[in-house]
Structure 1
Amino acid sequence: MIYSEREKNLLNVQKYAFAVNDLNLYLNTHPSDGKAMELFNNYRNEYLNALRNYENKYGPLGIYATKVDVYWPWNKEPWPWEGGK
């Protein structure tokens, strides 16, 4: 499957978000696991970097975006049912 640069960047955000969420669930039941906490912090930093990178190039992914101050971006591109991604 061929991905555009935008899709590759989004996939990067999603994979780190998954890892952070999965480790969060694990740490709920293993709160003293230092290695898991270290992994959580590393993946969290990778997630934040990937998110910032994506949003700087393509705009916000959610309402908690790092910066939304020039215009309200949600209606600038086609909706998924209009052929947008």
Structure 2
Amino acid sequence: MLKNLDTTSQVQHTKAKTQKIIEKRLRFQEKNTEQKKWQVFYLIPEEKFLEAVRRGITEIWELAEYFDVDEEVIRSYIKLPRVRELLKEGY
């Protein structure tokens, strides 16, 4: 009976520890997402992006070259809801 209590206690402790790790990772991801969002808006001002698109610079690699950033930054930028909305509106 005592052995069962030890095992149950260990399982509960492990679950609690796992939950804390998951919560910590989620907070990190949220913070990282906010930092990425700030970074892409800082590197690529909305008006300059729209201007580039109006000028016909629409390929990922072209935009990356135009703004002097990695293609991944452009991909992150165009995934943002605000940017997707602007692109749908035909800017």
- TM-score bucket (shorter structure): 0.3 to 0.5
TM-score (norm 1): 0.36
TM-score (norm 2): 0.34
Q: Bigger radius of gyration, 1 or 2?
A: 2
